[in-house]
Structure formats: C-alpha cells, structure tokens
Amino acid sequence: MGENVENLPEIRQFKEWFEKRHEYAKKWKEKTGGKVVGYYCTYVPEEILYAAGILPVRILGSHEPESITRPYLHDMYCPFCHDTLAQGLQGRYNYLDGVTIAQSCLHMRQSYFSFADRVENIEWSYYLPFPHGVNNPYAADYAKHEFEKFKAAVEEWTGTTISDKDLEEAIQVYNKNRELMMKVFEFRKAEDPKITGLHAMYMVVSSQVVDKAEHNEVLESLVEKLPETESDREVGTRFMLIGSEDYDEELFKLIEYGMNYPATFVFEENCTGSRYFWGTVEDADDKLMALAKRYVYRVPCPAKDWARGDFFGRRRFQFIEKVIREWNVEAVIIAQMKFCDPHELDIPSLRDMLDKMGVPHLHLELDLTQPVGQFRTRVEALIESMGEEDLYI
C-alpha cells in the first residue's frame, strides 16, 4: 500500500504556502532584504524580476465580500479585478515594493492602475505593453523589444545590472518548475490520476507566490513520491476545468469532495492551472528573445487568441482538444469569471467544439463567492445526464 496522497507533506506544504502567501512573502523579505513585486497577469516575464533578485508574487483576491472598490471600478468589471484591488486597499499587500502588469484584459488593466495609484506602499509600477496578436509572426520580436525596456526599468529601479548569466539562471529555475509541474500533470492521465484538482490548484498557485527554487525542491520530492501514492477516494467522472483564473477552494472541494457522485478534475486549462506553466523557454544565446517566444507562443489567454489571415482556428482550442483526448476527459466544466469578456467571447465557439467532440459540458459563472448549493445541483445533474442510459437498464 502506498502513502495516501492527501497526507503527503508536499501537498500540505503547497496548501500552506497558498493559504499563508502574505506571511511567506513578508518572511522572505525579512530573510533576504530583497524587493517583492506583485504582478497582475501571467504574461509578465517573471524571470527578469527573479534575475534581479526580486520575488514576483501574483496578486490574488480573498473571495470575501467587499464594497470598497466600487468608487474606482465599475460594477460590470469582473470580481477578480475587484477582489485584487480590495486586497491592496485593505493593506493585505502592504509588503509589496512594486506592482506590474503585462498588457492583458481591460478589467485587470484598470484594477492594476488603481492598485498602483492607491496602494500607498507601492514605490514602483510598470505597465508592460505585451502584444495581443500572439498569432502573428512579428509578436515575439515586438515582445522582446518591450522586455528590453522592462529589464532596463527593473535595473534602474533596483540599481542592479541583470546579466545574461543572471537571466540564464532565472530561466533554468523557472523551466525546472514548469517541467516538474508538467510531470505532475502527466500523472493525471492515468486511470488513477494521483492528485485532485484541488491539489493541483494548491501546487500551481503556490508556485505563483513563493520563490521558485524553494518550490522546485518540494515539487521534485512530490514527483518522486507520486508513483507510489494512492488515494482512498473514488475517481468518478473525469472532469477538465476550462476558463478564467480559479483558485477558489470551495469550488474544488464541492466538486471533488462534496457531491453525491464522485468526480475528479484531471486537468485545469486556466491561468491558475496549466496555462501558467505549460511550455518552457528554449535554450538560446539571445535570452530575451527566447523569453519573448515562450510568452508569445504559450497556450494563449482568450484575450489574445484570435484568427489571423489564413489561420482560422484558436490555438487554445487546439490545446484543449488535445488534452481532452490524452487525459481521457469525460466532461468539461467551463468556469468563467463573471463579466470576463475574453472568455465570454470564446464560450459559444468552445461549446460548439465540445458538442462536435461529443464531450458533455457545463458552464458555471464564477463570482467573488460561489453559489455552492446551486453548483452542486447543476454538476450532479450533468453527471446524471451522462449516465442516463443506465437508468433504463
């Protein structure tokens, strides 16, 4: 009998980092004397910050009701951008020295600027105009140009010089993190996927808020142990999660641990899941170009995934299709942050694609807090509908 995955210290460590992310960053700062920079979108080339000795941490919300952002952000802006700004206004990010964003959706852009201007401890902010047209051949060249300016701004602020060697080392640390997390995701192809979506969420989101080198040590240990572990829970329906950033424990706990039917997420296609780490930086002499290519050619956010010329598809959809087949996905939950335009713009076509593939799917709209009871009913109904033939046997 292998060890129960729920008891693995590595999983517990990820959970602790996730839950105590602010404490971690404060301690890191005390220990190293370094600067901490919050980032608003996963298109930020964290390696450049890391190479300068900075700890990049993703700015996340708390899923608590709030009303303090209403004077600055319109109600129709997504709950994530409200929630993240609220954290800043409430002083929960009082350890940040700087904040940055790589150009993404409008909601986060507004939230970023309000955060940069209104959170008192922010001494440095940088808006990085990352290309939207990641499907055009000139995007990487342009992204490199913007990365050069970003690097220069970081150097000026910190008074350091980021050498190619520094960048190379940072890339190695980040690549290792990506490779290890991809390995963990590979285990989820198996009949017994080893970890749940909740575990995966703890793993990925904790990687966004702690020092990657430290995260790598725990990941390595997890990768070693996973083949020998087992779970005492039934796998049930194999779900794929597609959509907006989703780090709400409630949702994972409900679907994987709290329903009348067993179910397990075997893959998360979102920026708190695979979209964050899928794809490494290739080895090349021109480090910034290599970085630019990784970020431009990664699995795109829907904000950046659209047709160009003779290419009519969406790169993200191609990735989703591949995952569904290789991970033996039985059903999809599309979890979309309320008011998230980029996702809303893709969902009708995504549903069409899933219909054509014969993959059952359910669209849930995420808010600051989740209507758990309603979600339970809907997800259970989906599972029941998938097994309806059994009713007549």
39 versus 95: smaller Cβ distance to another protein: 39
Name the strands in the sheet holding 36-39, side by side, starting at the edge strand that comes first in the sequence.
Answer: 55-58, 36-39, 98-102, 124-128
**Rounded distance, CA 286 to CA 145, Å?**
12
* Candidate list 132, 183, 233, 253; residue touching another protein; CB under 8 A: 132
Shortest Cβ 327–another protein spacing (Å) = 25
In the numeric block, the tokens 């939950």 are attached to 333
Residue closest to 126 by CA, chosen among 105, 151, 143: 151
Residue 321 as a binder of another protein (CB under 8 A): the answer is: no
**Rounded distance, CA 116 to CA 97, Å?**
10
Say if residues 166 and 158 touch (Cβ distance below 8 Å): no
137 versus 358: smaller Cβ distance to another protein: 137
Residue 341 as a binder of another protein (CB under 8 A): the answer is: yes
- Please report, as residue ranges, which positions from 255 to 284 form the binding site for another protein (by CB under 8 A): none
Neighbouring C-alpha atoms within 13 Å toward the C-beta of 325: 6
Residue 354 as a binder of another protein (CB under 8 A): the answer is: no
182 versus 345: smaller Cβ distance to another protein: 345
200 versus 354: smaller Cβ distance to another protein: 354
Residue closest to 302 by CA, chosen among 329, 273, 331, 336: 336
Residue 306 as a binder of another protein (CB under 8 A): the answer is: yes
* Candidate list 303, 320, 333, 337; residue touching another protein; CB under 8 A: 303
**Rounded distance, CA 344 to CA 339, Å?**
8
* Candidate list 33, 159, 309, 358; residue touching another protein; CB under 8 A: 309
Shortest Cβ 337–another protein spacing (Å) = 12
Binding letters toward another protein, positions 59-98, x by CB under 8 A:
-----------xxxxx-xx---------------------
Q: Which residues of 15-46 are buried (b: 16+ CB within 10 A; e: fewer)?
A: bebbeebbebbeebbeeeebbbbbbbbbbbbb
Residue 133 as a binder of another protein (CB under 8 A): the answer is: yes
Residue closest to 332 by CA, chosen among 382, 277, 274, 367: 382
In the numeric block, the tokens 């301690």 are attached to 27
Shortest Cβ 132–another protein spacing (Å) = 5
Binding site for another protein (CB under 8 A): 70-74, 76-77, 103, 105-107, 109-110, 113-114, 117, 127, 129, 131-133, 136-139, 141-142, 145, 302-303, 306-310, 312, 314, 339, 341-342, 344-349, 351
